[in-house]
Each structure stands twice: as structure tokens, then as C-alpha cells.
Amino acid sequence: MRTRNFAVMAAAVVLAGLLAACGGGKNGGSAPGIVIDESNQTKADSVIEVKAKNFEFDQTEYRVKTGAVKFHFVSEEGVHGIRIPKTGIELRDGQTVTVTFENPGEYEIVCNIPCGTGHSKMFAKLIVEA
Ligand SMILES: [Cu+2]
């Protein structure tokens, strides 16, 4: 009995450690120099709205400056979301996240919901300028 309890506790501790190591949260990990603020308490230097419909985004390129950028995502037609790999950004319809970019860079924006026949063609670019 005593050994079993210990095993369960040890497993729980290991699991908690793994979750902490991964960063947890729906946005997963972000690259160094990128800070995600899901509660949007950070004062944004700029705001961008990304809109999606079947089966494209409203722009092929979104340009922002380094600093705190508030991203708002709207799915105007169909069910879409966005994921920006390497940044930790992941949004569904109506969601907002404030992200601080310390460095310039280029990232791909993809749809993160299997939305239909045009899903694999849904991509755009995020360009963070100095
Ligand atoms: Cu999709």
C-alpha cells in the first residue's frame, strides 16, 4: 500500500515536471526573443488583424515592427484558426494575443484547423521588421 502511494506520487511529480518543461499552455513554446502574453496586459505598440475565409487569409503578407504586437484573429467565413510556428502564436476565431518580438524575422502563418478542401493552401507570411 505504502509503496503504491509512493509510485503514484512519483509519477505525478515527473508528469508535473514534464509539463513545466514544455511550457504548457495552448500556445506551446516560443522562440527566444519572443514573449507571449495571452492575458493581453502588455501595452501594444501596434495592432494587426488577421482575417480568414474559405480558403485564404486577407493578406499574403503581414508586416509589423519589433516590439509588442497585438494580434487579433477573425474567421469571417468557414472555421479557421492560425498558427505561426516558432513564435508560439495560435489563435481561434475572435481571440487576441499580445506578442513581443525582440528581433526582426520572418514566419509562416498557417491555418490550424482542418477546414476543408483548400486547407493546405492556407498560408501567409508574417514579417517582423526592425
Ligand atoms: Cu484550415
Digit-coded pLDDT (tens) for 61-83: 999 999 999 999 999 999 999 99
What phi and psi, each to the nearest 5 degrees, are found at residue 68? -90, 120
Nearest to 105 by CA among 47, 62, 70: 62
Sign of CA dihedral 49, 53, 59, 63: positive
Give the pLDDT confidence score for residue 25 in this predicted structure: 44
Separation CA 10–CA 57 (nearest Å): 47
Separation CA 38–CA 123 (nearest Å): 23
Give the pLDDT confidence score for residue 6 in this predicted structure: 64
Q: What is the pLDDT of the chain when averaged over all its residues? A: 87
Give the pLDDT confidence score for residue 30 in this predicted structure: 79
Å from CA of 116 to ligand 1 middle = 6
Separation CA 11–CA 48 (nearest Å): 43
Å from CA of 80 to ligand 1 middle = 5
Residues near ligand 1 ion, CB 5 Å cutoff: 111, 113, 115, 119
Q: Which fold has domain 26-129?
A: Immunoglobulin-like (2.60.40)
